[in-house]
Amino acid sequence: MYPEPTARSRFVVAARLLIPAAVLLWLIEAVDVVLFSDRLESHGIEPRQVDGLEGILFSPFLHDDVGHLVANTAPFLVLGALVMASGMKTFWQVTIGAALIGGSATWLLARQGNHIGASLVIFGYFGFLVVDGFIGRSLRSVAIAVLAALLYGSILWGALPTAGAGVSWEGHLFGLIAGGYIAYARSKSLVSSNDP
């Protein structure tokens, strides 16, 4: 049996994974601007277009401009670290699940256009944390949900059709739903595994 990781060790693991991931996003943006004249952005999710399917995989790594990436970097690091407090397996489930489920729903149902940005995954993190806090069985999950809501509750406006021109509110909404669904499915799995 392995000892329960300490808060410090979880923070170190989160920093070792999330900071290089954020650096990777910045490197991709720099390469896109310098070498490709922003052409990499065209590989985002294009709803109901066969060519747009690749965006389900690529869109979280692509950003419209530096301002877009600046807006996504801090919430990616903070909310990602809060999700990671539930364990590495959960972190990967939420990250991959939000990207694939949220991205697929965006491809199926969103307005025409090119949907890009890590915000789909960020909203997945937020949805997971809030739902996990409501249905979780620990004081820690409630405290983390409250912290996430206090820090980033205002992002919910970005999941509404009034979010503004050029904002993929559908990607935000479907990422949020995907994260919430993963928290719900995880709670059901934990309950059934604890049943005699």
The CATH number of residue 152's host domain is 1.20.1540.10
Q: By percentage, how much of the chain surpasses pLDDT 90? A: 83
pLDDT at residue number 4:
63
Half-sphere exposure at residue 8, Cβ-oriented, CA atoms within 13 angstroms: 0
Residue 134 lies in a domain: yes
Band the pLDDT of 24: cuts 50, 70, 90. very high
Residue 32 lies in a domain: yes
Low-confidence winner among 6-10, 67-71, 90-94, 141-145 (lowest mean pLDDT): 6-10
Structure tokens at 85: 């407090």
Residue 51 lies in a domain: yes
Q: What are phi and psi of 36, to 5 degrees?
A: -115, 5
Residue 13 lies in a domain: yes
Residue 163 sits in which domain range?
7-194
Whats the size of the chain, residue-wise? 196
62 pLDDT above the threshold of 50: yes
- Average pLDDT in the 38-55 region? 97
Q: By percentage, how much of the chain surpasses pLDDT 70? A: 93
Residue 1 lies in a domain: no
pLDDT at residue number 13:
87
- Average pLDDT in the 45-68 region? 97
Residue 119 lies in a domain: yes
pLDDT at residue number 196:
46
Sign of the Cα pseudo-torsion (174, 176, 179, 181, in order): negative
Residues 45/106, Cβ–Cβ less than 8 Å: yes
> pLDDT tens, 133-151?
999 878 999 999 999 999 9
Number of domains in the chain: 1
Give the mean pLDDT of the chain: 93
